[in-house]
Structure 1
Amino acid sequence: MSRATSIFNPSIPRPTTLNREGYPAFERPLEEQYLQVLLTNTLGNTYYATSDQLLQEAGQVHTAMLEKDPEFAAKALVFARNEGFMRLQPVFGLAALAGVRPDLFARVFDRVILIPSDLQDFFTVLKSIGRGQGGRAVKRAAARWLNNRLSEYWAVKYNGRGRGYSLGDVVRTVHPAPAGAKQSALFAYLAGRDCDASLLPQVAAFEALKRAKTPEERARLIGEGRLPHEAVTGVGGLDKECWRALVLQLPAFALLRNLNTLERHGVLDEYREYISARLTDREALCKAKILPFRFLKAFREVKQTWLKDVLREAVEATFGNLPEIPGKTAVFLDKSGSMAGEYLLIGGVFAVALYKKTKGNSIFWTFNTRVEEQDISIHDSILSQADKFMAFGGTDVAAPVRRLAERKVFVDNVILITDEQQNAGDPFYKVLAEYRRKVNGRVKVFVIDVAPYRSALVSPADPLTFYVYGWSDTVLHYISFAVQGYGGMLDIVNKTAI
Structure 2
Amino acid sequence: MVKFNKLATKTTATFEGGKAYKRDAKADLFLLAVTNMVGEDTFYESADSRDQRYRELVHTVAVADPEWMLRFVAWLRLGANMRSAAIVAACEAVRARLDAGAPGHGRQLIDAACQRADEPGEVLAYWTGRYGRALPKPVKRGVADAVARLYTEYSFAKYDSDAKGFRFGDVIDLVHPAAAADKPGQGELFRHALDRRHNRDNPVPEALPMLTARARLLALPVDQRRPALLAGVAEGAEGAEGAEGGPGRLAEAGMTWEALAGWLQGPMDKAAWEAVIPSMGLMALARNLRNFDEAGVSDGAAWKVCARFLDADQVARSRMLPYRWLSAYKAAPSLRWGHALEGALGHAIAGIPELPGRTLVLVDTSGSMTGRVSARSTVTHLDIGALIGVALADRAAGSGRAGDVDLVGFADGVFTHELAKGGSVLRGVEAFARRSGEVGHGTRMVDAVANSYDEHDRVVIVSDMQTFPYYYNRDKGADAFIPDTVPVFGINTTGYGPSALPPGKANRFEIGGFSDKVFTMFGLLAAGDGPAWPF
TM-score (norm 2): 0.82
Provide structure 1 residue ranges, at least 5 long, that are not aligned to the other structure.
Answer: 1-12
1:344 aligns with 2:377: no
| AA matched with 1:169 | D
Q: Which has the higher helix share?
A: 1
1:53 aligns with 2:49: yes
Maintained 8 Å contact 1:81/1:90: yes
Maintained 8 Å contact 1:153/1:228: no
Maintained 8 Å contact 1:121/1:163: no
| AA matched with 1:136 | K
* Alignment match, 1:422: 467
Aligned ranges 1:232-247 → 2 under 5 Å: 232-235=260-263, 236-240=265-269, 241-247=271-277
Residues 124-145 of structure 1: CA deviation (Å, up to 9, x unaligned): 1211331635322332232233
Deviation for aligned residue 1:457? 0.4
* Alignment match, 1:71: 67
Q: 2-side partners of 1:64 and 1:357: how far apart? A: 40
Q: 2-side partners of 1:176 and 1:195: how far apart? A: 22
The percent identity for this pair of structures is 24
* Alignment match, 2:377: none
Deviation for aligned residue 1:428? 8.7
Residues 1:23 and 1:293: Cα distance change in structure 2 (over 3 Å)? same
Deviation for aligned residue 1:433? 5.1
Maintained 8 Å contact 1:186/1:195: no
| AA matched with 1:254 | A
Q: 1-side partners of 2:218 and 2:296: how far apart? A: 25
* Alignment match, 1:6: none
Deviation for aligned residue 1:470? 0.7
Residues 270-318 of structure 1: CA deviation (Å, up to 9, x unaligned): 2133212211222221221111111111111213323111111111222
SS in 1 for 2:161: coil
Residues 1:155 and 1:279: Cα distance change in structure 2 (over 3 Å)? same
Of 390, 395, 399 in structure 2, the residue corresponding to residue 357 of structure 1 is: 395
Aligned ranges 1:261-410 → 2 under 5 Å: 261-340=291-370, 341=372, 342-358=380-396, 359-360=401-402, 361-377=404-420, 379-388=422-431, 389-390=433-434, 391-392=436-437, 393-405=441-453, 409-410=454-455
Deviation for aligned residue 1:159? 0.8
| AA matched with 2:226 | P
1:123 aligns with 2:168: no
RMSD of aligned residue pairs (Cα, Å): 2.5
**Alignment size in residue pairs:** 474
Larger RCO, structure (CA 8 Å, separation 6 or more): 2
* Alignment match, 1:4: none
Maintained 8 Å contact 2:93/2:106: yes
Provide structure 2 residue ranges, at least 5 long, that are not aligned to the other structure.
Answer: 1-7, 231-245, 373-379
Deviation for aligned residue 1:403? 0.7
SS in 1 for 2:185: helix
Q: 2-side partners of 1:411 and 1:37: how far apart? A: 29
TM-score (norm 1): 0.88
Q: 2-side partners of 1:473 and 1:217: how far apart? A: 43
SS in 2 for 1:116: coil
